[in-house]
A and B are shown apart, each in its own frame.
Chain A
Amino acid sequence: MDIIVCIKRVPEVAEIDLQVDQTGKSIKEEGLVFGVNDWDNYAVEEAVRIKEKHGGKVTAITVGSAESEEVIRRALALGADEAVMVTDPQADGSDAYAIAKVLAAAIKEIPYDIILTGVLADDDGCAQVGVTLAELLGIPHATLVTAIEIEEKQVKIKRELEGGMEEELVVATPALFTIQSGINEPRYVSIMGIRKVAKKEVATRDLGTLGLSPNQVGPAGSFTTVERIFPPPVGEGAQILEGSSDEVATKVMDVFQKGGVI
Chain B
Amino acid sequence: MSKKHKVGVFICHCGKNIGGYINIAQLVEMVKTIPDVVISTDQKYMCSDQGQAEIKKALQEGLIDRVVVASCSPTMHEKTFRKCVSEEDFNPYLYQQVDIRENCSWVTKDIQEATYKAYELIKAGVSRVKTLEPLWSTEYPVTPTTLVIGGGIAGIIAATDILEAGFKVVLVEREDQLGGWARRIGKGFPHLTPIKDFLKEKIEVLQSHSGLKTYLSSEVVGLEGFPGNFKATIKQADDTTVEEEIGSIIVATGFKPFDARRKPEFAYGESTQVITTVEMEELLEKGELSTNGQPKEVAFIQCVGSRDKSIGNEYCSRTCCMVVAKQALLLKELIPDARVSVFYMDVRAFGKGYEEFFEKAQRSGVIYIRGNPSEVYKSGDKMLIRYEDTLLGRPQELAADLVVLSVGMEPAEGAAELINTLRATADKDGFFLEAHPKLGPLDTFSDGLFIAGCCQGPKDLPDTVAQAHGAAARATVYFHQDKVIKEPVVATIDADVCSGCGLCESICSFDALHLDEKKKRMTVQEAVCKGCGACAATCPSGAISLKHFRPSQVLAWVEGFLS
Q: Do A and B touch (CB < 8 Å)?
A: no
Q: Which residues of A are interface residues toward B (Cβ below 8 A)?
A: none
Residues of B within 8 A of A (CB): none
